[in-house]
Amino acid sequence: MLVLGSVLAVFGAPADAAGPLDAAIDTRVTTQKEAADSQERIDAVAEETDAMLLDFQHVSTQTDELKIFDDQLERQVETQRKQLAHFERQLATVRETQREIVPSLLRMLVALEEFVARDAPFLVEERKARLASLKAMMDNPEVGLPERFRRIMEAYQVETDYGRTIEAYSGKLARDGKPRTVDFLRAGRVALVYATLDGGETGYWDRGTREWKTLPREYGEPVKQALRVARKQSPPDLVRLPIAVAVAPDPADAKPALPAGPETIIWLPASTAPPDATPTEIAPEGPEFEGSATVAPADDPVAGAAPTAASPPGQAPAAVEPAPPQVQKSP
């Protein structure tokens, strides 16, 4: 009995002591589990805090950038306000300029019309049609001011080019009430002559009397040659054409200048003036007859001739009594 009791005492004691150990282990496990849960919550809060910090930093950066952008826009708006004020001042000036330009364009058109009326009668219908088109344009409200200015200046340029080009064309000539088709030759504004289609009659425009005059028969061949040169049917050559020279009406006031007579040697080139030639300004009130032809007196074809004298504005040049022509054929 004593032996059995001892064995039970030996094996029974640990079972009684296991209760506090298990409780300690359970407490330890529970504590560790709670610590793990707390760590998870801490990690989640830390991650959320980091995300919020990143968001805050991003928003702060955006705020700074937007503030800089807003400041830049404010400066741009201020600059645009100044530009708007400047444009408004310019617009007021433009309105005033438009009020001043329109009368100037009308005066230019009137001056051009007067100039064409006083000029030699070449391409009459074409030039009148151009003037009529310009007048209609000035009355058309749909045509802007820049276009009006451009077209009037273009018309001036065309009239200027007439003084530096040669041209041969066919047209109607009315003399003695009988219109005839003839060939006209214009050498700049220096000479304007005609020849009938059969070559039986030639004539020239006298600026002094402002009428067509018949040339002696000796001029028939030179005028035909000049027409061929102008049409590029013949190489450039020296030809004789009639040139009316204005002289003083009072012999006492006359000065020795060009020899009297319609005959002058003119060099007709095969082409017109070069495209880069500087345009000559038209003076409608007192046109100067400038052309690409080289003019020399008939008795001195080598030396350059003095420029053709033009009458004062508003006064027709005096008629020139032509001297007997002396025709010399070109070699």
Q: Mean of the pLDDT values across residues 46-50?
A: 90
From CA 245, how far away is CA 322, in angstroms rounded? 9
* CB neighbour class for 137 (10 Å; exposed up to 12, middle 13-18, buried from 19): middle
Q: Mean of the pLDDT values across residues 229-234?
A: 88
- Phi-psi bin for 199: left (phi > 0), alpha (psi -120 to 50), beta? left
From CA 112, how far away is CA 158, in angstroms rounded? 11
In the structure, what pLDDT confidence band is assigned to residue 207 with cuts at 50, 70 and 90? confident
From CA 122, how far away is CA 290, in angstroms rounded? 16
What tens digit of pLDDT does each residue of 18-45 get?
678 888 888 888 888 888 888 888 988 9
For 303, residues 6+ apart whose C-beta sits below 8 A from its C-beta are 296, 297
| Model confidence, pTM | 0.52
Helix (H), strand (E) at residue 169: strand 166-175
From CA 25, how far away is CA 220, in angstroms rounded? 144
Question: What does the pLDDT read at residue 252?
Answer: 54
Average pLDDT, the chain: 74
What tens digit of pLDDT does each residue of 274-311 get?
334 333 333 333 333 333 333 333 333 333 333 333 33
What tens digit of pLDDT does each residue of 141-157 get?
899 889 999 999 999 99
Helix-strand-coil percent breakdown of the chain, rounded to 5? 50, 15, 35
